[in-house]
Homo-oligomer: A and B are copies of this chain.
Amino acid sequence: MELKKELTQTAKNAAKAARFLANLSTSEKNRILEEMAQNLEKNKSAILKANKKDITHAKSSKLSSAFIDRLTLNDKRIGEMVDCLLSVAKLPDPVGSEIKAWDVPSGLHIHKVRVPIGVIAIIYESRPNVTSDCIALTFKAGNCVILRGGSEAMHTNQAIYEAINDVAKRNELPEGVINFISTKERRAIEVLLKLNEYIDLVIPRGGEGLIKKVVTLSRIPVIKHYKGICHVYVDDYADLNMAEKICFNAKVQRPGVCNAMESMLVHRDVAARFLPIMLKQFKEAGVEIRGCALTQRIGKDGIKKATEKDYRTEYNDLILSVKVVDTFDQAIDRINEYGSHHSDSIVTDDEDNAKEFLRKVDSACVYVNASTRFTDGYEFGMGAEIGISTDKLHARGPMALEELTSYKYAVFGTGQIRE
């Protein structure tokens, strides 16, 4: 009961503060973001000290080395957090910008303008930079934020939050603009997700388990950043030289991210020419191949058989499933069926196939003759991102400042009444 009361008060304060923050000027927001960056830098040693505590605890709890790597801060990583705050300060403010404007026959003049969403809860796992990155983005878009980080990073997150929130206090922003849930009670998430009266949106950032949990428990709208099972399809009209470069890049350049290729499809008519060279390159780069029967035959030794599950797996690693398809249509069907509707690419010189692929593949980002690795807020020219939405509602694909806003209609009349 205490917990519910406390979290309800936090959410209420945030909802109230949201009215203030919605009207804070761009220059004030930018000045405060820069001050936050400075104070984060200034509190570096305190943050690193808090981080040590978390790391010690994680080691004694025998958490994986990958986990500990994500948790660990150092000068460089804190520098990146500072840079994020500074770069968000430099981005254009979406709040108040006009989406469109038009007149209607009654003589009313209608403006559709961007406004903040209101209160956004972020539930995240181990990476401590999420704390400061999410504060930067939500604050710039005029939203109050409620942060709930993973318990394993609690000391680190709290230290980051305090360094940033000190600036909010010093600038006399109302209580509730930036909120951090520090209780150890695991039930906090469940309670938070029922506060739909005050919280407008929740964004879970983490593994599939976390996201599914949030969807199951939430009465608040959720924007999900699920996994990326991304495909590159090498068409029978592909420039095979270009296809090699794109497939290699999509798999190898950074295999641990959601826009990396997990499955490669090759048209039957080019498989015998394309696969031997491609598979050799992958082998040299240490990529494990799991292929269909034909891929196994062409690739000879060392090609494992791909299971149904392989074709639906996000490896986030140097592993790739490969399938030879009989037709262009089969490629499209497989991508829509086995993929995660994130990012998929076709390599082809045939304009009709390119257009049909773009139209029929039901993914957030569909590419012609480019690596899937470009699905990213920076690469898309949005300056930053809070993640890649795999939802179709509100925001799809890279989600940045504009996607952290809603809109309202401002309507100018001269005494109009409805007949």
Contacts and interface: CB of A to CB of B under 8 A. Distances in A.
A416 B371 contact: yes
Contacts of A302: none
A412 to B, nearest CB: 5
B418 A406 contact: no
Contacts of A411: 365-368, 370, 374
B397 A19 contact: no
Chain copies in the assembly?
Answer: 2
Interface in A378-419: 379-381, 391-394, 396-397, 406-418
B106 A418 contact: no
A368 B413 contact: yes
Interface stretch (A75-83, A148-156, A320-328, A355-363): A355-363
Nearest to A242: B415
A390 B391 CA distance: 20
A221 B222 contact: yes
A117 B364 CA distance: 12
A364 B115 CA distance: 10
A219 B216 contact: yes
Nearest to A259: B418
Given A215-B196, A397-B408, A249 B362 contact: no
Contact of A392 (B223, B239, B406, B413): B406
B104 A367 contact: no
A406 B393 contact: yes
B370 A408 contact: no
A393 B392 contact: no
A366 B410 contact: yes
A253 interface: yes
A379 B221 contact: no
B380 A110 contact: yes
A373 interface: yes
Given A216-B219, A362-B115, A373 B407 contact: no
Contact of A409 (B215, B354, B366): B366
Interface in A207-263: 215-216, 219, 221-223, 239, 242, 245-246, 248-250, 253-254
A108 B360 CA distance: 20
B200 A416 contact: no
B201 A393 contact: yes
B392 A409 contact: no
A103 to B, nearest CB: 9
A347 to B, nearest CB: 8
Interface of A: 19, 22-23, 96, 102, 104-106, 108, 110, 115, 117-118, 196, 200-201, 215-216, 219, 221-223, 239, 242, 245-246, 248-250, 253-254, 336, 354, 358-360, 362-371, 373-375, 379-381, 391-394, 396-397, 406-418
**7 shortest interchain CB distances as A-B pairs:** A370-B413, A249-B417, A373-B418, A392-B406, A394-B394, A370-B416, A358-B410
21 contacts: A19-B336, A22-B360, A22-B362, A23-B359, A104-B380, A104-B381, A110-B381, A201-B393, A221-B221, A221-B393, A242-B415, A250-B417, A253-B418, A365-B411, A368-B411, A368-B413, A370-B415, A373-B417, A374-B413, A392-B406, A397-B409
